[in-house]
Structure formats: C-alpha cells, structure tokens
A and B are shown apart, each in its own frame.
Chain A
Amino acid sequence: MSRLQGPSSLKRKRPDSNSPSGSLTEHERILYDVIRSKQDMGIWTRDLKREANLPDNVVAKSLKSLLTKKLIKEVVNIQNKGRKHLMAAEFEPSKEISGGDWYVDGSLDTEFIDFLKDQFVKIIYKQRVATLEGILDVIRRSGILKVEITTQQIQEIVRVLVLDDKVMEVKSNGMGEFDSIPVGKVCFKCTNKAGLKGEPKVGAMASIPCGVCPRISYCTPDGIISPSTCVYYTKWLDF
C-alpha cells in the first residue's frame, strides 16, 4: 500500500470505541486483557499463550473470534516479520514494532520516499537556496501530496538527500542569494552533482578494475588470482 494513492495512512483511523467487548467468553476476555495490556507494543502469539496459560486449541478458537469481532488485529513486527504479532484494535503499532513513519506493513515505503526525494530536489533546485519551512510551504500549496507531512519528515528526507550528495547544507550569511533568509539559518542547496540526474564524480581508484574489485585482498602477483590472469582487466581492455 502506498501513500501516493489511496487514503492517508499517516493519519490513522481510530476504531469505534463502543465496540461490543461486553459479549466475550471468559477465555476471550483473558486473552483480550493480556493483549490490550501490551498497548502499542502488542504481543507475539507464543508469549501470549504462555501468559494466558490456556490450552492451544482454546487460544486458537478465541483469537479467531476476537479477530472477527475486530477487537484485536494482526500487525507486522519489523524486528521479526515471520512471527504472528497481535495488538488490541485501538492501538497503532509503536515505532519499534512498525519501523516508524516510513514503514508500511513492515516494509520501507520506497515508492513514497523516492517520490518525495524527487520533488524536494526539484523544489530546492528551483529556489536555489531553500529552508525546511520553504519546502513545506511549496508542498502544501502545490497539493501534490494527499497526506499531511511534517517539518520533521521533511528534515528526514532532506538529510538523506544530503547523504546522497544531491543536496548540501549551508548556513545563510544574509547576503546575495540568502538575502531573504535570517543570518545563521540552516538552508539547503543543490550540489553541482545534483544536476537532477548526475552521479558523483568517479574517483581515480573507482575507475580502474582493482578499485572496485571484490577480490582485491586475494589477488597477488603470482597467485591464482593475479593481474596477468585477471578477467576484469581483460573485459576492461576489450575495446
């Protein structure tokens, strides 16, 4: 599920609090209470069985019933995706369980992230120097996002753009291109390499076979892997 289409999942719905929790069997009640007590951390089914101390078949039956009544839900635990993890319906998984804002169903929402990165580079490129608030403003006014986004989230995306060397952090000196920005304020600029498509310059070492060779530590002048028998070189010199 992506936040690009469909309704917002950043603003998660709260379930109806008048749900029929009154009509539970005794076993269902015990299980429900254990699960609910774990709040937004939820619980792994095996731990649940141990805590509730009920026979397996009873647990299976009661959980099924609780699920149909929509009192509990299954969530993906980012720490261990294979485990069945349960949580009371009114809670949203904590950051430890979900992986945080950028995770959807236990996987990184790369589509959404890449979309935002792309948009941000375009905005910064156009504005020459941009502040986080400036980016937020453009995003809001353009209406390209169907979900709310916070300055914190913008900051996280911009930080990754800095790590990608597409954008660099600069401090305003209040002059020239910074004249509308208070002195000392952190701003962002596109690097020369951003050019909207460019890759960082390939260094001297990275442009020869040995520079990127995974076997360099096994390669010796007279060994089995050696420069004179090296296939990477043969390929490289095939022109």
Chain B
Amino acid sequence: MVTPYGIKFSVHIITSHFGNLVAKVCEKLLTRGPLTLQLLIRFTELNSLQVKNSLLILIQHNCVQAFSAEESGGIANKQTPTQYLVLFDNILHRLRFPKFLEIVAQELDENCAELLEGLLQHGRLTQEQIYERAKSIKSGDCADQSGVQEHFRKLVNDRFIERCPAPEPFIAESTPEETPAKKRGAKATKLVEVKKTLEQRVLEEAAVMEAQRFSIMEDLETDIDAEKSKDSSSIVRLGEKRKGDLLELDGDFSFNNKEVTLWRANFEEFLRCLRHKACVESVRARLDDGAAIVLKALLKATRGAEKKVKMENSVPLSLDSIFEEVMKSEAGRTMTLDRVRASLDQLGCPSSMGIDDSYSIDLKKIIELSQNEEVESIVLNRYGRDGYRVFRLLSKAGHLLETDKISEMTFVEKKDTPKILYKLWQDEYLHMEKMVVNTKQFLLWKVNKSILCEHVLDEMYHAALNLSLRSTHEMEQHKELLNLPAGQCTGPMEKKRLWLRSVRIYLVSSLLKLDDAIMLFHDF
C-alpha cells in the first residue's frame, strides 16, 4: 500500500539522504508510476544530466529498477525506451539499516556486520570492492584477506546478501488474463492495482535465478578475470564512491560490463527475520515465555525453507525436530517434551494432530492480532475507555451493528454512544450505513479492516514524517550548541546540551519503534 503520506515520507527520506534533485526525480516516479528518461526530464524540469545522475544514484541504492517493455499493439518484439520504476519499499528499508546490522551482529558476528555496513552504505558493490573497503578500514592488514572472504561467505550462506537483479529486464506484452486489469485502469482506484502487477512482473523478471542468487562459485572466476584487467574502468576505487560507481554505466544506462557481479543486501531475508521476531515477541506478551521459545526455535529451523516474506503458515516441522531445535537454545534447554507440546497447543496446534504429523503455526493470525492491538491502543488513547470498548465490539463482530445495540452490549450510556460512533466514523475508523424502517432511521456501524489498516498506515507515515521533521527542527534550532566543542560547555549550556542529546535519542528511538509498527502493517 503506497499511501499519500507514504509518498511524502519516502521523498523526505530521499531528500535527507541524497538531496533535493534526487528527491525530485524520486517524487515524480512515486506519483506518476514508471517513466522514461524523456518524460522524467519534462516532468521534473531538470536537465538531462541532472536526471541521469539522480537515476544512477537511485539505481545504485536499489531504489529504482530499470526495465523495457514490449510495445503494445505495435510490431512484435519492438522494444520501448527504458522505463524507470521506483521501489517504494526499498526506500523505507533505508530507515531499517540499523536493525539489519543488529541482526547480522547477533546471528553472525561484528565483522560480518561491518562488511554488510559497507554494502548498505554503497548500495551495490563487487566482491572486489567489498574486500577493498574492508582492507581500508582495517588499515592495510592484508593478512586478513582470507578472514574477509570468510565473512563474505557467511553472509551469502545465510542469505543476508545476494547478487543484484538484472539491470534492465524485458517485459513481454501482458498475457490475455491481464488485459482486463489494464482496461479497468481507467478508474483511478484501480490504478494502484495495475501498477502493482507491473511492479511484481518487473521484479520477477529481474530476479536472479534462485540457484545463482546466493552462489559465490561463479563469481570467483569472474574475480580472476577482473584481476587481469585491473586497470579497466569496470573496477572502481572506493574513494571515488558514488560518482565512481556511476562510471560503470554508460550514457545509455545499459550495463555493458555483464561479467561484473554486483552484490547487495538481501532485504527480503532481513524482513523475514524481523517478521519472525515480531511474531515471537507478540506471542511472548500474549501467551508466555514457553510459547515464545518454541515459536522462535521453530521459525529458526524453517527460515531457509520459506518462499516469501508474508508466509501465512510456518513451514511444517515434526515434533521431534521442533524439540531438538528447542533444546539447542539456552532458554529452551529446561523444557520437557510435554511442555513443548503444551506450548504448541497454546500456539493453536492441537496435539490431536498426531505424533508423526508435522506442526505449522498460523503466522498470519499472530500478525493480525498484533495489528489489532496497535490500532486498539490508538483508539484507547484517542477516544477513551468507552470508545475502546465500542471499537473492540465492532472489530470482533465483523459485521454491521445498530447504535442502540452497541450501547447495550458495551454498557456505554445511550446518549453518549452516537457521539463516540460519529467521532470514530469521522476519523475514518468506522464504516457507517443508514437504514430506514417505517420512516424511522437507524444507523449501522462496522469496522472495515482493510480500509482501516490503510488509513492507520497512512497516519503512521504521517507521524513518522512529523517525527523526523521535528527532529531536524530541534537540531537546527540548537545548531550553535552542537557545534561547540564539548569542553567549552558549562553550567546551563552544558545542561542544554545534555537535554538536546536526550531529545535526539528519544526521537530516533521513537522513530525506530514506529517503523516496527509500519512494517507490521505494510511488510508483514
């Protein structure tokens, strides 16, 4: 779901990371959908070089994917000019880099995290460049080369990094089943749907084959080739960073150095980890530690087998394997088989499923419960206890209920109920329908989950934007203070400086927390 504030917030992220020009290009792509270079120049009113450079930066950082499509109705196989598709999700992932690094530091080690940091900073790098950067950080410790290679291998094996997708996939004309969607595209509401289909197709087309995506073997040969032609422009020194990287692309934006394999962080795997973590924590809060330990072990064992991020159910696993995995974790060592079975039961897998049957947990349900909790917490704090009860009644009921009935079932005063309902409706938390029976009018209410989720998500993007804007504002306001050397601050000034520090920490951590909630509604 790309909502209006979602667009504003992502443009804000790009502005603060790459400046106004890049943000302008990005904004046009977000609001207008995929565009050609010519159209981008027209819409942004920037010159061709500015747009090209902006696009290169966005591509380098995995925020834009180029593609070309078969011209519809035209001569067969005639290609249209290259189009650029913005990847909204990947822009938001930029906020999550600290979370990604933490995962790698925990699951692997600090060295691997350091290697990943380079990739996150530069977007895409060749193996050679990754090694070079690692060397330059460790100030010329060449003996460490094999160590760095080992860290790289670990990252690939655990799927935390992957080969970059094809630079410009070719999209054949849509198959007949997709044509109706295109026609409906005339209606504004359906536009998103069509765009989504296209985005999915482009990403699918660009994706590296699963077998190659995490293979280093072939790359080693390429390395040797690269070694031979060390002076060629395909290898870019890191000091020249972004500008340098761009030289890899020629003026026509096509990669002609096909043999150079670029690597990047595998966002999908990180999201999977974060989703699992969110599920485990939700279960811990709602059920108990035992259920959390079992779920964590189960998800860890099956992570590699998951085919997509939004898995509805966990990959089936036998009780024996679950038990074995639980025993591996420190927290689970004291659990008995009976206890594990009881926890699985709590998690919604009744033991009647039999000994040799495998267990699979309903993850979608867990995510939904967490989403409900988040929304209900907003309602409680915004509309009070009575509003909370009314909202929960409607949310659980899942169908229309009449005002008086609602009042009766929630013990809210009959005269207060319509006011509460109206407020919730006005703020788009409820759906209302009028019904007339014998000239008497009744109002019926319900929660429309999908519309509500989209609305809440938009409010979250709005709130996230406000948080960052306020953060920037506070820092601007006290710029002089930040520029003063620490030693020069005394008395009240020192106090103010400490305050500013806490403000920054407070705002940054609030944004990270809010981003967890955004992922809950958008990515999980």
Interface residues in chain A, defined as those with a beta carbon under 8 Å from any beta carbon in chain B = 78, 99-100, 102, 107-108, 110, 113, 156, 159-160, 163-165, 173, 176, 192, 199-208, 210-212, 214, 216-217, 219, 221, 226-228, 230, 233, 237, 239
Contact = CB atoms under 8 A, between A and B. Distances in A.
Given A163-B392, A163-B393, A173-B345, A204 B513 contact: yes
A78 B377 contact: no
Given A100-B408, A113-B411, A216 B459 contact: yes
Given A206-B380, A216-B462, A227 B392 contact: no
Interface in B365-421: 373-378, 380-382, 385, 388-389, 392-393, 396, 408-414
A-B interface, 8 closest residue pairs, ranked by CB to CB distance from nearest: A203-B377, A210-B463, A227-B466, A228-B473, A204-B517, A203-B374, A206-B381, A227-B469
Interface stretch (B98-106, B186-194, B268-276, B502-510): B502-510
B380 A200 contact: yes
Tell me the dominant secondary structure on chain B's binding face: helix
A176 B377 contact: no
Contacts, number: 119
A204 B385 CA distance: 19
B202 interface: no
Contact of A207 (B375, B409, B510): B510
Contacts of A226: 469
Contact of B503 (A78, A221, A237): A237
**Chain A at the B interface: SS class:** loop
Contacts of B514: 204-205, 208
Nearest to A110: B411
B350 interface: yes
A99 B411 contact: no
Contacts of A107: 413
B411 A102 contact: yes
Contacts of B286: 192
B101 to A, nearest CB: 21
Interface of B: 8, 285-286, 342, 345, 350, 373-378, 380-382, 385, 388-389, 392-393, 396, 408-414, 427, 456, 459-460, 462-463, 465-467, 469-470, 473-474, 499, 502-503, 506, 510, 513-514, 516-517
Contacts of B499: 239
Contacts of A201: 285, 373, 377
B381 A219 contact: no
A207 B514 CA distance: 9
A203 B410 contact: no
Most buried by B among A156, A208, A228: A208
B469 A205 contact: no
Contact of B469 (A214, A217, A228): A228
B475 to A, nearest CB: 11
A202 B377 contact: yes
Contacts of B374: 203-205
Contacts of B392: 163, 165
Contact of B516 (A99, A113, A173, A204): A204
Given A216-B463, A221-B469, A202 B410 contact: no
B503 A200 contact: no
Contacts of A78: 414
Contacts of A233: 470
Contacts of B388: 163-164
6 contacts: A107-B413, A164-B388, A208-B463, A216-B459, A221-B465, A237-B506
Contacts of B513: 204, 207
A219 B350 contact: no
A112 to B, nearest CB: 11
Contacts of A108: 411-414
A165 B377 CA distance: 11
Contact of B378 (A160, A205, A228, A239): A205
Contact of B502 (A159, A214, A239): A239
A200 B373 CA distance: 9
A233 B469 CA distance: 11
Contact of A203 (B350, B393, B517): B517
Contacts of A210: 459, 462-463, 466-467
B19 to A, nearest CB: 17
A217 B465 CA distance: 13
Contact of A208 (B345, B409, B467, B516): B467
A236 to B, nearest CB: 9
B348 to A, nearest CB: 12
Nearest to B517: A204
Contact of B377 (A200, A227, A228, A237): A200
B459 A200 contact: no
